[in-house]
C-alpha cells in the first residue's frame, strides 16, 4: 500500500528502483538507480557484494515494492520502512541492498538542494581525504596473488611511484590454530622486502582476513610484523569475536583494525566498547549506508576509535566514502580501488580526484556521479572468480579465506 499523499506541492515521489550490474573482472558492481516523478531527477548508489550479486539484485527488487510512492528525501523514514517492514532481521544481503538504495536517496537529496552530500552529513571537517591502495593499484589479482618477493618488490614500487604514501597487503598464509615456522619466516621475508622497497615513511597495513584460527596464531604473526612499524593489522581474528580480539589487543602495542564484515551499529557496539580496536572499518556498502556509518563513527569517536571505511568496491561506493570522509571528524584513511580495471572511469564519472595520496573535496551536487548506461551494458554480469576456493590446507582442511 502506498503512503498517503500529503498536501505538499513540493513533494517528490519514488517511481522505480532499478539495478545495473557491471562486471569488473574480479567482481561485479551493483549500481542502484532510484527514479522519481521529477523530470531528470534520479539518484545513484552502489550495493556491490562479492559472490552475492544475484541475491542482492533480488533483494533490491523486493525492497523497491515497499518504497515506491514515498518521498526519497525522507531518508530516515524510507530506511525504517525497509528494515521494520521486512519483519525478519536483514543479514548482509538485505542490508547491502538497503545501503545501495540509501546512497541513491542521498544523491537525490543533494541534487534537489543543489548541495554536495557531505554538506548534508554535517559539513566539511577537513581539507583533503587521505587514501591508500593495494598492490597492483586496485587489481584484485595482485592483491591476493602476490606470493613471491620479486612480485612484491615490483608491485610495491609502482604504488609509491604513483604518489601513494600508504598501502595494504594480504600476505598472512592460510592457517589453523598455530602458525608454522616456515609460514612465520615467509611473512618476515616478505615484510622485509616490502619495507625496504617503500622506505620508512610509507604506511603499511596488513590484512589478516581472519586467517589465524586463534588469538595465539594471530599473535605469532603480529610479533613479527611489529618490527616493521605497521599502521595497523586488520581483522587478525574472526569478525564479531570480541573476546578473541580483546585477547590479541591485550598482548600487543600494534594497532588493530576490524569491522568490514559487521552489519550495522548493533554489531559494532560490543567491539567498540571493548577498547580492543584502534580503527573501525565499517563498509558503507554493507553496513546500512551513510547514516548508519555516521552513527558507527559517532560511537567510535566516543570510544576513542578512529574510522577507516572498508571499500574494495566500485566507483559509486568510492564517491559515498569520499563524502563520508569529508564530514567525519574521526576519519583516518580511505581504501580505494581506482585501478581495478583499465576502464574504471568509463562507466561511472565519479568525483574522486586524487592528488598524491589524497582525494580533493568534491563540489558537485549529490554524490557527484554520472553513469553511462551504454558503457555499463558493455560489461554485463558474469559469475565472479571464487578466490576463496584456494583457502584449503595441505591436508584438505577448509579454512578462512
Q: What is the pTM of this model?
A: 0.95
Residue 382 counted as domain residue: no
Q: 166 and 269: one domain?
A: yes
Angle at 353 between CA 350 and CA 359, to 5 degrees: 115
Q: 62 and 150: one domain?
A: no
From CA 306, how far away is CA 311, in angstroms rounded? 16
Q: What whole-number percentage of the chain has pLDDT above 70?
A: 98
Q: 88 and 127: one domain?
A: no
The structural domain count of the chain equals: 2
Per-residue model confidence as pLDDT tens digits over 262-295: 999 999 999 999 999 999 999 999 999 999 999 9
**DSSP β-ladder status, 334-335 and 306-307:** unpaired
The residue among 116, 148, 166 that closes a domain is: 116
* pLDDT of 246: 97
* pLDDT of 208: 96
Q: 99 and 206: one domain?
A: no
Write the CATH number for 215: 3.20.20.120
Angle at 11 between CA 7 and CA 17, to 5 degrees: 135
From CA 226, how far away is CA 398, in angstroms rounded? 28
Q: 259 and 141: one domain?
A: yes
Q: 203 and 313: one domain?
A: yes
Active-site residue set: 209, 310
Residue 296 counted as domain residue: yes
| CA 256 to centroid of chain Cα atoms | 17
In this structure, the chain runs to a length of 401
Write the CATH number for 54: 3.30.390.10
Residue 372 counted as domain residue: no
- With b for 16 or more beta-carbon neighbours within 10 A and e for fewer, the 339-355 pattern comes to bbbeebeebbebbbebe
Per-residue model confidence as pLDDT tens digits over 205-248: 999 999 999 999 999 999 999 999 999 999 999 999 999 999 99
Q: 247 and 320: one domain?
A: yes
Q: For the residues of 305-331, what is the DSSP string, one character each?
A: -EE-----S-HHHHHHHHHHHHT-TTB
230: DSSP letter: -
CB 340, CB 25: distance < 8 Å: yes
- Domain enclosing residue 99, as ranges: 14-116
* pLDDT of 109: 98
Q: For the residues of 186-218, what is the DSSP string, one character each?
A: HHHHHHHHHHHHH-TTSEEEEE-TT-SSSHHHH
Average pLDDT (353-367) is 97
Amino acid at each position: 500500500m502506498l503512503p498517503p499523499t500529503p498536501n505538499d506541492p513540493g513533494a517528490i515521489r519514488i517511481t522505480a528502483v532499478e539495478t545495473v550490474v557491471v562486471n569488473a573482472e574480479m567482481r561485479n558492481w551493483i549500481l542502484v538507480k532510484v527514479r522519481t516523478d521529477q523530470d531528470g531527477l534520479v539518484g545513484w548508489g552502489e550495493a556491490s557484494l562479492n559472490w552475492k550479486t544475484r541475491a542482492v539484485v533480488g533483494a533490491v527488487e523486493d525492497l523497491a515494492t515497499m518504497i515506491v510512492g514515498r518521498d526519497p528525501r525522507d531518508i530516515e523514514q524510507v530506511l525504517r520502512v525497509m528494515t521494520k517492514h521486512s519483519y525478519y532481521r536483514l543479514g548482509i544481503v538485505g542490508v547491502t541492498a538497503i545501503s545501495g538504495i540509501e546512497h541513491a536517496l542521498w544523491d537525490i537529496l543533494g541534487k534537489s538542494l543543489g548541495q554536495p552530500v557531505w554538506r548534508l552529513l554535517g559539513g566539511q571537517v577537513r581539507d583533503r581525504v587521505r587514501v591508500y591502495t593495494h598492490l597492483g593499484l586496485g587489481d584484485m589479482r595482485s592483491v591476493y596473488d602476490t606470493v613471491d618477493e620479486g612480485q612484491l618488490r615490483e608491485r610495491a614500487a609502482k604504488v609509491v611511484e604513483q604518489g601513494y604514501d600508504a598501502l595494504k597487503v594480504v600476505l598472512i598464509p592460510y592457517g589453523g590454530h598455530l602458525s608454522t615456522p616456515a609460514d612465520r619466516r615467509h611473512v618476515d621475508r616478505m615484510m622485509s622486502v616490502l619495507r625496504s622497497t617503500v622506505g620508512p615513511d610509507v604506511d603499511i597495513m596488513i590484512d589478516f582476513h581472519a586467517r589465524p584460527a586463534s588469538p595465539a596464531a594471530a599473535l605469532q604473526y603480529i610479533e613479527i610484523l611489529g618490527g616493521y612499524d605497521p599502521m595497523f593489522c586488520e581483522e587478525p581474528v574472526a569478525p564479531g569475536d570480541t573476546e578473541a580480539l580483546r585477547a590479541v589487543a591485550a598482548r600487543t602495542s600494534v594497532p588493530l583494525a576490524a569491522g568490514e564484515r559487521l552489519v550495522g551499529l548493533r554489531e559494532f557496539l560490543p567491539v567498540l566498547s571493548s577498547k580492543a580496536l584502534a580503527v573501525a572499518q565499517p563498509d558503507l556498502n554493507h553496513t546500512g549506508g551513510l547514516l548508519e556509518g555516521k552513527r558507527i563513527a559517532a560511537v567510535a569517536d566516543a570510544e576513542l576509535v578512529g574510522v577507516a571505511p572498508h571499500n574494495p568496491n566500485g566507483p559509486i561506493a568510492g564517491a559515498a566514502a569520499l563524502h563520508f570522509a569529508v564530514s567525519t571528524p574521526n576519519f583516518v584513511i580511505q581504501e580505494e580501488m581506482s585501478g581495478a580495471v583499465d576502464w574504471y572511469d568509463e562507466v561511472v564519472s565519479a568525483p574522486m580526484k586524487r592528488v598524491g595520496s589524497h582525494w580533493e573535496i568534491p563540489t558537485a551536487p549529490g554524490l557527484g556521479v554520472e553513469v553511462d548506461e551504454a558503457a555499463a551494458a558493455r560489461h554485463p554480469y558474469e559469475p565472479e572468480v571464487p578466490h576463496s576456493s584456494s583457502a584449503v590446507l595441505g591436508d584438505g582442511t577448509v579454512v578462512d579465506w
